[in-house]
Amino acid sequence: MLPVSLLSSENGQGLKMFAVVEQWDEASDRHTDNTNKYFMLLLIKLGLEAGVFYSCGTKKCTYFLSVCSLSVLLADFVVTFLMGAAWFLGAEKSLVSPCALLANASTAYAALPLPMMLLGFVDYCLEDIFMSDRPALWRTLRNVLLTLVVWAVAVNHSLRSSYVGPVELDSVGEKKALACEVRESALITVFTLGLFTATLLTLVPFLTRIPRWVREAHKLTEAREEQKNAGSDLLFTSSWNHNPQTKSQLEEHLEEDGSTRPPLWFSMMLGFLWFWMPYLLMSVSCLIFGLGIPAYLSVNLLWLECSNSFLVGLVFWAKSSARGPYSSLPDNVCLWQVYWHLSRDIQLSLLPVSVFIPPHEKNISHV
């Protein structure tokens, strides 16, 4: 188990901890260097994040949070490489000592969540207003520049505020430990705990109906896959409301009582929780059992993709009253279109006015 000792909390800056780098036992003259443990931990994180980026992350760099995902993956590679160099070469010969690396990395990572979430939310809100007619190259360059600015501010903050020198911890008996100060991300703690609590409370009034709604969403997902396999996506595009066969297929997958449909906001939340509840449970469990997680571990692609899904669902819900199931938002692991249809009465969802026609479809479908 990685030796991390909790210390204190400082004015909302997150919990300060001690990462034990070296240990001595004078009685047995035994010395333990924990650099290899930190390297292995960072290496495992890098491998997991590569898998998350491949399976969950959208590859379109025209969205700010997509570039942020790539930047976090690259930053993790650099930190892992430097920690590996410190292990193989030793702290004296490596470019940076393990203590300085952990201290600066934790402070820099802790400064990332707030600006990334704010800029990502603004990017999604303004997507259809100012950015849709911009060239893809221009939008990509803008996102890369913003991401570099965010990282530059975070790294500058870490270099100015981090104490990178080793600290000798109070020991028991003849055991001594050399440690460095690291921080956790207070924002991630508040975000995870707040989101989990809020969603859990809102589930209570609908508990008896949730299993049936989940089954209906599963049926809609299967119907969508069948349409895609048949070379058509009429069930979830702007032209589906003119196809009688598609209407009958939808009616087969939804129960007739439209009065028991979930509210749209709850349907969106259900789609979010269906995928991300395991991650929220794991994160909250770590908080409950007092497992301190430094920011260089807690700021990862799982958290970033979870936040991305939350922001996409929020913007999708806000714009769906005017645009229906169509959205120019990026592809996401949550099936927003499926859960949009789940919240609609069958007859109401078939009305042409509830669907927005994207410009590239106007020549093949008219409302």
Q: For residue 116, what pLDDT is reported?
A: 95
Amino acid at site 357: I
Is the model's pLDDT at 241 over the cut of 50?
A: no
Distance of alpha carbon 322 from the chain centroid? 27
Q: CA-CA distances (angstroms) from residue 286 to 139, 282, 283, 291, 292?
A: 38, 6, 5, 5, 8
Q: For residue 39, what pLDDT is reported?
A: 94
Which residue in 106, 95, 96 sits closest to 42, CA to CA? 106
Please state the domain extents for the chain.
4-183, 191-361
The tens digit of pLDDT for each residue in 185-205 reads 889 999 999 999 998 898 888
d(CA 248, CA 295): 51
Q: What is the DSSP string of 259-303?
A: GGPPPHHHHHHHHHHHHHHHHHHHHHHHHHTT----HHHHSSHHH
Per-residue confidence at 175, pLDDT binned at 50, 70, 90?
Answer: confident
Q: For residue 302, what pLDDT is reported?
A: 92
The strand pairing partners of 24, in sequence order, are 31, 176
Q: For residue 62, what pLDDT is reported?
A: 79
- Reduced to 3 states (helix: H, G, I; strand: E, B; else coil), residue 148 is helix
Is the model's pLDDT at 352 over the cut of 50?
A: no
More confident residue, 133 or 136: 136
The tens digit of pLDDT for each residue in 33-91 reads 888 899 999 999 999 999 988 887 666 777 899 999 999 999 999 999 999 998 888 76
Q: For residue 296, what pLDDT is reported?
A: 92
Mean pLDDT of the chain: 77
